[in-house]
Amino acid sequence: MSGNSGSNQMWGGRFAAGPSAIMREINASIPFDKALWRQDITASKAHVGMLGAQGIVSADDAQLIAEGLDKVAAEYEANGVPENWDLEDIHMTTESRLAELIGAAAGRLHTARSRNDQVATDFRLWVRDAMDQAELGLKQLQVALVSRAGEHAESIMPGFTHLQTAQPVTLGHHLMAYYEMIGRDRSRFADARARMNRCPLGSAALAGTGFPIDRFRTAEALGFDAPTDNSLDSVSDRDFALDYLMAAAQCSLHLSRLAEEFIIWASQPFGFVTLPDSLSTGSSIMPQKKNPDAAELVRGHSGRIVGCLTALMITMKGLPLAYSKDMQDDKPPVFEAASLLALSIAAMTGMVAEAAFRTQRMRGAAELGYATATDLADWLVRQANIPFREAHHITGSAVKLAESRGVALDQLPLEDLKAIDARIDERVFAALSVEASVAARASHGGTAPVEVRKRVAQARVALGLEE
């Protein structure tokens, strides 16, 4: 424990000075919270406008500060935000530059506020924008889904359960399933936005302030519905960020499932789709390869987005009221999730819009695998009044026979079908085609082209594509 350097002998090798260098580094949030600079300027301008209007600072100082903030913003816009760890974060960086530009009056900006309510406000504004952007991007994805679904309302493909051929469905129906999922994602972002749109500014460090501030005025200036109602809650609440991440995580699961479909469909044994060149890559060793990397990365990114949600949940779970410095770590996971989500939405929108669906291959696959076996059973119930369980058994025998001969159900001679059950007659063949199978499923929300077209039409209205 000697020496004058101040550097710790055990672990100080990389430090010029002692613990203060570590403190500086661990404390600095400027490397990531500089992303909040626009929100920080906007919220500070709202705050100083209110301070001026309430006579808490003079009108002259308020004006000087507001103009100074505009100058700082112009500098950030032109040159980026300088990263000085000594200034810790975007809030102190901005205030310190403001002081260099306008002098002592800059010191009045922080009257009746704290960085605790300041960061809570800035971050809310940022997350609110991210929610709006997600909502907008997802709407574009829905537009792409609906347009391809309309094109393929009659294209027949195998529908799967357990990834085993189950019953024929239409590609339009399959795509519209994702329209529904993405619609729920949009509503989750919209719900979260409505819930979070309250302004914490003016809660100060934790207890409110003795200055005669007008929190309704700042709330309104920043586009919030109202101020928050409890100052302790206001500075320690990050529910809005968690709500965003929960919506993002669930959305990313949907995007990942869609990506997975494209990956499977693009594989050679399936051959259901040719991916757009613009969203694929080649192999450096296998010249024939065209890899679905964008879809695979969307699938991968969902894991990271879920990780971001987990990270912030664990950060928040043990914190007593009010602010604790742990909460500085709230931003990286949200920023990371937001950029991964935006990329994922854009990639899947391009994929859906530009993929070339190989409808002949899909149809051919639907004809294999006895996808219309349920139609035979349903026919026995309807035409021969056989209980469904018995019809299921009879159909099983027919499938077994067809399989042993390597033919489709509708290629079995009538006599052989009759030998299995005498109540079968020649009308059965009309029910066994894949077209008849999908057309029959016209129950609400079913796969019949008529139902798919109906839902596509409703969706086009909901998306504002049609009156």
The amino acid at 266: A
Considering only the stretches 136-144, 210-218, 325-333, 426-434, report the one whose residues sit in contact with ligand ARG under the rule CB under 6 A. 325-333
Is residue 444 among the annotated active site residues?
no
Q: Which residues share a beta bridge with 170?
A: 156
Q: Which two tokens stand for residue 465?
A: 């594509």
With binding defined as CB under 6 A, does residue 327 bind ligand ARG? yes
C-beta closer to ligand ARG: residue 167 or 228: 228
Burial 361-391 (b: 16+ CB within 10 A, else e): ebbebbbebbbbbbbbbbbbbeebebeeeeb
Instruction: Rule CB under 6 A: choose which of 61, 89, 117, 237 binds ligand ARG.
Output: 89
- DSSP tag of 199: E
Question: Do the Cβ atoms of 275 and 292 come closer than 8 Å?
Answer: yes
State which residue, 328 or 395, has the beta carbon closest to ligand ARG. 328
Q: Which segments within 69-212 are labelled E, that is strand?
A: 156-161, 164-170, 198-199
Contact region with ligand ARG (CB under 6 A), list: 142-150, 252-260, 319-327, 379-387: 319-327
Catalytic-labelled residue, pool 162, 404, 443, 444: 162
Examine residue 115 and tell whether it contacts ligand ARG (CB under 6 A).
yes
Assess whether 5 carries a catalytic annotation. no
Residue 338: Cβ within 10 Å count: 23
As a whole number of angstroms, the distance between CA 287 and CA 460 comes to: 42
Which of the following is catalytic: 5, 58, 267, 283? 283
Which of 49, 66, 84, 88 binds ligand ARG (CB under 6 A)? It is: 88
The number of helix segments (H) and strand segments (E) in the chain equals: 19, 6
Q: For ligand ARG, which residue of 94, 170, 231, 328 counts as binding (CB under 6 A)?
A: 328
Rounded Cα distance between 303 and 114, Å, is 36
Residues between 30 and 49 with contacts to ligand ARG, criterion CB under 6 A: 33
Both tokens assigned to 119: 């960061």
Task: For residue 117, state whether it binds ligand ARG (rule: CB under 6 A).
Answer: no
Per CB under 6 A, 29 contacts ligand ARG: yes
Nearest CB to ligand ARG, comparing residues 34 and 441: 34
Nearer to ligand ARG, 113 or 115 (CB): 115
- Residue 168: strand, helix, or coil: strand
Only one of the segments 124-132, 142-150, 321-329, 411-419 lies at the binding site for ligand ARG (rule: CB under 6 A); that segment is 321-329
Alpha-carbon Rg for the chain, nearest whole angstrom, is 31
Both tokens of 241, joined, read 């960020």
**Of 39, 42, 93, 116, the one binding ligand ARG by CB under 6 A:** 116
Cis-peptide, bond into residue 322, ω within 30° of zero: yes
Nearer to ligand ARG, 106 or 119 (CB): 119
Report the residue number, 115 or 173, with the smaller CB distance to ligand ARG: 115
Size of the site for ligand ARG (CB under 6 A): 11
Sites of contact with ligand ARG (CB under 6 A): 29, 33, 88-89, 115-116, 119, 323, 325, 327-328
Which residues are part of the catalytic machinery?
Answer: 162, 283
